[in-house]
Copies of this chain bind each other. A is one copy, B any other.
Amino acid sequence: MQPIMSAQAINDFLETDFPQIHTDGRVFTVTSVRPGGLTMTFDPNERHLRPGGTVSGPSMFALADVAAYAAILAHIGPVALAVTTNLNINFLRLPQPSLMSCDCRLLKLGKRLAVVDALLHQGDPDHPVAQATATYSIPPRTE
């Protein structure tokens, strides 16, 4: 599974084609792409925080979903529009109100379905703050 888009190309594509992910600020950035996966960082601002100084659940859901979507994009190119059909997320530890990384790995990249594992952590992947598994339906590609 070789990626066919660079981190920069994915960030540019998200910028132009999915500006809505930047509604609450330019917080999501693909920092590295590798065969079968990528890492996206999330730099939360006050809109993503909760009293007690933690990061909101919907923000972490959004991070897992956008990062997994980007991981698929990186490997099939910006042609097809994948749609999230299922996302299962485990909240493991209370996050700090600071930078969060999401390491994604393609478990399957089929013609019709892709399944991605997403590990959310704040520096130590052995003590993740959340873990998600997401499934995307990939529409038939017209030639």
Which residues does chain B contribute within 8 Å of A86, judged by CB atoms?
86, 88-91, 135
Copies of this chain, whole number? 4
| CB-CB under 8 A for A57 and B50, given A107-B128, A131-B133, A137-B113 | no
Contact between A133 and B135 (Cβ–Cβ < 8 Å)?
Answer: no
A83 interface hit (Cβ, 8 Å): yes
Contact between B137 and A117 (Cβ–Cβ < 8 Å)?
Answer: no
Name A residues whose Cβ lies closer than 8 Å to a Cβ of B: 1, 20, 23, 36, 47, 50-51, 56-59, 61-62, 65, 83-93, 107-108, 112-113, 115, 117, 126, 128, 131, 133, 135, 137
Q: Could you show 27 A-B contacts with beta carbons less than 8 Å apart?
A: A20-B51, A20-B56, A23-B47, A57-B62, A57-B65, A58-B59, A83-B91, A84-B91, A85-B91, A86-B86, A86-B89, A86-B90, A86-B91, A87-B89, A88-B88, A90-B107, A90-B108, A92-B107, A92-B115, A93-B108, A108-B128, A112-B112, A112-B137, A115-B131, A117-B117, A131-B133, A135-B135
